[in-house]
Amino acid sequence: MPIPLGAEERFSNTGRNAVAISPDGSHIVYSANDGLTLRPLDQLQATPLAGTSESDGGSVGIPGTRNPFFSPDGLWIGFQVGGQLKKVSIGGGAPVTLCEVDAPFGASWGPDDTILFGQTDGIWKVPGTSGTPERLIALEEGELAHGPHMLPGGEWVLFTFAPSGIGSWDDAQIVI
């Protein structure tokens, strides 16, 4: 099913995750025009989410809004902007800062209200209510981890692993 962007919309940060689908399939969120845009799939109109871009008052750091992802209940959208991991309600309102981050390589929100995100030094977790991040999986210099997802039961993490020295993500591994 094609979902065209509005005439003035342009995807932002396409080198990272730019689109997410709500767990119940009723909404999509995407990075466009340096912020997030939410679209209920039963409507034709998409709405930019206020406060989700650096120009809306996001902190300065890595440019652009990146890596949108939904909470398990679909009521919140997590994202990274300007060196911070944040969340915003699908109903609108001011975004909430969860923690400081470097350059997340994908993120996911588990059913236990824990958010996992990849960094250049490992996979980290932070409560969905905010807090101090805790490293779950450490990496060696030059290694990368992308797109961590907690598997059912909460004991295992699935992610893409790029060993040091590989030429592209095409040569990466999927690991648990």
pLDDT recorded at residue 94: 93
d(C-alpha 24, C-alpha 29), whole Å: 13
pLDDT recorded at residue 92: 87
Predicted confidence band of residue 55 (pLDDT cuts 50, 70, 90): low
1 vs 27, residue with greater confidence = 27
For 144-162, write each residue's pLDDT tens digit: 888 999 888 888 999 999 9
Neighbouring-strand partners of residue 31? 36
14 vs 91, residue with greater confidence = 91
d(C-alpha 129, C-alpha 64), whole Å: 23
Q: Is the pLDDT of residue 103 over 80?
A: no
52 vs 55, residue with greater confidence = 52
* Cα 76 off chain centre by: 12
Structural domains for the chain: 19-175 (2.130.10.10)
d(C-alpha 47, C-alpha 129), whole Å: 25
17 vs 26, residue with greater confidence = 26
By DSSP bridging, strand 84-89 and strand 96-100 are: antiparallel
pLDDT recorded at residue 51: 86
Q: Is the pLDDT of residue 18 over 80?
A: no
pTM tops 0.75: yes
